[in-house]
Amino acid sequence: MSNQNNITLGNLEPTGTVSPKGERCDAAANRKLILATAEKLFAQHGVENVNMAQIAQAAQVGKGTIYRRFANKAELCLALMDSQMADFQNVMLERMRKMTAEGVTPLGQLDQFLDALVYFIEDHAPLLDEVQREGLLGNYDLQVPHFWLHMTTSGLLRQAIEARELLPQLDVAYIADALLASLRANVFLFQRQVRGFSLERISAGLRALVAGLRFVEAE
Amino acid sequence: MSNQNNITLGNLEPTGTVSPKGERCDAAANRKLILATAEKLFAQHGVENVNMAQIAQAAQVGKGTIYRRFANKAELCLALMDSQMADFQNVMLERMRKMTAEGVTPLGQLDQFLDALVYFIEDHAPLLDEVQREGLLGNYDLQVPHFWLHMTTSGLLRQAIEARELLPQLDVAYIADALLASLRANVFLFQRQVRGFSLERISAGLRALVAGLRFVEAE
DNA sequence: GATAATAGCGGACTCTAGTCCGCTTGTCAA
DNA sequence: TTGACAAGCGGACTAGAGTCCGCTATTATC
């Protein structure tokens, strides 16, 4: 397992914050203005309390202008998270490379990945809640972050199996889904706001689920 | 652990299908008519493709009449599931009593409960998807089924701990949340429709998560 | 610099969830 | 049986998500 240091993490497809090829300068300026305006209004009033007409009015653009660039509020929220998601990905990639070089096992890496993910979700929960509102069967673009997280999680699970850390017969695709399901924004917010769970508690609980899947050599 | 056969399963609060105290006969008739009409339209066109105005029209009542009884479509869907939810609860309760009498351990009972729940969700996924659309932070009435499932799951987990089947330090509240999160209708439908997971696969994956939390006596 | 093509604009419009008010009807007490 | 009260009615109305069409402005080509 000495050659396991290149995890295939797909890059996120950039959405709204990056200029599409051939975008006119006025459209580009409006796109930036819309994002900046939305970010400001969300910070002032909370994501769920701001509607698209209010963003259009505050930005002094027409509603059609907003919808030409962003199919819906979820896509606008996803665009606002773009660079942070990419940063998170890059930081995680770098961290895993380091850990691999230092001999940290795949299961240890998964542990740290999930822990970091809990903190990432804490920082972006309101936006994520909006992004995930439609569920997993909605518009493909909105599922890109989930696909990446699933791919990363399942990649690490597979490596842990190959390293004989986890049970060989483990259903990786299912387990990755289940782990990520418990980190859906609406579940997470419920745990934080209603149950009063701390981040440490959430992280520990999640990692305990993984730890339980450890491979104990038969005999 | 010989006295562990009375699990405290709260009864579901009946909603829309049961006459509230003092309900007028015309209101009662309309309520039944609305439910029957909705059920028919949902069966014909799918839950997500039928709106409240269509139900009102088909039932030949005013829209206000629907909203007087059901706060929203989710509550209407929950009402449609009322008796099936109550049946499921009763069947599970009876089954657990039997299993306890036969000496099936709490962990074995949890296994069967989760398996049965997978099949229940399969039968009611479209309605549940509508009920759960608002997430866990929404209107309290819509969370009653979730609360009951959580209570049952955590009750069984606690008994398994007391029976020394599961790790004593297990965070029961967190684990129950996580298990149920993976059975949220939108996740479930994604697994069924997009991933093509079979019910057996989903059930097995879920039960593997629980199995991993087994208590192995230190030595 | 001028012109043509089309991307982009704004806001009137549509659709659906949900609200609410004046009128009607069912129920209960006398 | 009658009258009073309030539950219940229907549909016009509001609010917000989203659509779309006639007009404008940007850009590429000559």
CATH number of the domain to which B50 belongs: 1.10.357.10
* Å from the B76 CA to the D13 C1': 23
Whole-angstrom Cα distance, residue B34 to residue B70?
A: 10
Give, as one character, the DSSP assignment of residue A160. Answer: H
Q: Is B212 on the interface with A (CB under 8 A)?
A: yes
Q: Is A200 on the interface with B (CB under 8 A)?
A: no
Query: Which positions on chain C have an atom < 7 Å from some protein CB?
Result: 7-12, 16-21, 25-28
Residues 53-82 of A with CB under 7 A from strand D: 53, 63-64, 67-68, 71-73
How would you label A44-58 residue by residue, b for 16+ Cβ within 10 Å and e otherwise? eeebeebebeebbeb
Residue A2 lies in a domain: no
Whole-angstrom Cα distance, residue A107 to residue A82?
A: 28
Residue A66 lies in a domain: yes
Residue A132 lies in a domain: yes
- Measured in degrees and rounded to the nearest 5, phi and psi for residue A166 equal -120, 160
What is the rounded average pLDDT for all residues in chain A?
A: 89
Residue B218 lies in a domain: no
How would you label B109-137 residue by residue, b for 16+ Cβ within 10 Å and e otherwise? bbbbbbbebbebbeebbebbbbbbbebbe
CA of A62: nucleotide with nearest C1': C10
pLDDT single digits (tens) B102-147: 999 999 999 999 999 999 999 999 999 999 998 888 888 888 899 9
Q: Which of helix, strand or coil describes residue B148? A: helix
Residue A217 lies in a domain: no
Cβ contacts below 8 Å, chain A against chain B, sum to 115
Query: Which positions on chain D have an atom < 7 Å from some protein CB?
Result: 7-12, 16-21, 25-28
Cross-chain residue pair A209–B209, CB shorter than 8 Å:
yes
Give the CA distances from residue B112 to residues A90, A116, B104, B146, in Å, rounded to whole numbers and listed in that order. Answer: 42, 34, 10, 18
Residue A3 lies in a domain: no
Residues of B in contact with A153 (CB under 8 A): none
Confirm whether any atom of chain C, the nucleic acid strand, is less than 7 Å from CB of A64: yes
Confirm whether any atom of chain D, the nucleic acid strand, is less than 7 Å from CB of B33: no
Please give the tally of structural domains in chain A: 1
Please return the burial class of B215, using the count of CB atoms within 10 Å of its CB with bins 0-12, 13-18 and 19+. Answer: middle
CB B127 within 8 A of CB B77: yes
What is the pLDDT averaged over residues A168-196?
95
Q: Chain A interface, mutation test: which of B169, B170, B174, most A Cβ atoms within 10 Å?
A: B174
Residues of B in contact with A151 (CB under 8 A): none
CA of A56: nucleotide with nearest C1': C10
Whole-angstrom Cα distance, residue B70 to residue A15?
A: 39
Q: Which of helix, strand or coil describes residue A214? A: strand
Residue B4 lies in a domain: no
Residue A7 lies in a domain: no
Whole-angstrom Cα distance, residue B158 to residue B178?
A: 15
What is the pLDDT averaged over residues B91-102?
96
* Beta-carbon count within 10 A of A103 CB: 8
Longest dimension (CA), chain B: 71
Residue A96's domain comprises: 12-211
Give, as one character, the DSSP assignment of residue A143. Answer: G
pLDDT single digits (tens) A139-172: 888 888 999 999 999 999 999 999 999 988 999 9
- Angle between helix B106-131 and B144-162 (nearest 10): 170
pLDDT band with cut points at 50, 70 and 90 for residue B218: low
Give the CA distances from residue A160 to residues A48, A66, A111, A175, B157, in Å, rounded to whole numbers and listed in that order. Answer: 39, 45, 11, 13, 27
User: Which tokens go with B41?
Assistant: 């339209």
pLDDT band with cut points at 50, 70 and 90 for residue A18: low
pTM equals 0.90
Whole-angstrom Cα distance, residue A217 to residue B148?
A: 38
